Structure 1
Amino acid sequence: MNRFEGHISEIETDGGLSLVTVKTAKDLEFRSIVIDTPDSAPYLKKNQKVEVLFKETEVAIGPENIKDISLSNKIPCSVEAVDKSTLLSSLDLKCSEGRIRSIISTRSVRELGLVPGKSVSALIKLNEVMLAPL
């Protein structure tokens, strides 16, 4: 599980959903959709410290400066390590806040030419990002 600490910087609410933006200490931003509102979940307030969590299997990899894509979480990274198996590969990515681990197909690793040192974007859908109050 990937984990980062941050604080809630913005909350947009509509009906029973909230779109929450979390900033880390090094200004990395994560967005998450939460099936709660500030009225139903007391931790949903500006400046509240939270932990951002997402699974390794939810991290897609794209080109370095990808812009035109609907994913809200686009994190600039560099590949630190690639551990290939027959079907799946594990990648260790370095970003400004620390490390992100991604598990993708080995075929994708080959097709994208993913090797240590390559600059990429880690891509996570906002509905795959979980928040936990600290």
Structure 2
Amino acid sequence: MSISAINVRNQFRGKVKEIIEGPVVSEIDVETPSGLVVTSVITTRSVKELGLVVGKEVIALVKSTEVSIAAL
């Protein structure tokens, strides 16, 4: 499957900045060229299958049915 086959309009190219690996799920921080950091929680198995390591170039695909906002 290619990236163009995925129905996700919000795509952020970047590099893996940090991986916090847990026994079942891991937290992945992706930093875009503009400095935006996108964080994803995925299974640790997926981290290994995707070969994710700090510095690897990736695309963060963001699809959400809800965005919550809190007042400051």
Shorter-normalised TM-score: what interval? Answer: 0.7 to 0.9
Q: Are 1:114 and 2:52 an aligned pair?
A: yes
Pairing 1:5-84 to 2, within 5 Å after superposition = 66-84=3-21
Q: What are the within-5 Å matches in structure 2 for residues 117-128 of structure 1?
A: 117-128=55-66
SS at match of 1:108: helix
Per-residue Cα deviation, 1:19-52 (whole angstroms, up to 9, x for no partner): xxxxxxxxxxxxxxxxxxxxxxxxxxxxxxxxxx
Give the residue type in structure 2 aligned to 1:111: E
2:33 alignment counterpart: 96
Task: Write the distance in 1 (CA, Å) between the matches of 2:12 and 2:32.
Answer: 7
Q: Distance in 2 between matches of 1:100 and 1:81?
A: 11
TM-score normalized by structure 2? 0.79
TM-score (norm 1): 0.45
SS in 1 for 2:41: strand
Gaps of 5+ in 1: 1-64
Rg larger in structure: 1
| Runs of 5+ unmatched residues, structure 2 | none
- Aligned residues between the structures: 67
Q: Is the 8 A contact 1:80 1:92 kept in 2?
A: yes
Aligned-pair Cα RMSD in Å: 1.9
Higher relative contact order (CA 8 A, sep 6+): 2
Distance 1:75 1:67 in 2: 14
Identical positions, percent: 36
Deviation at 1:126, TM superposition (A): 4.5
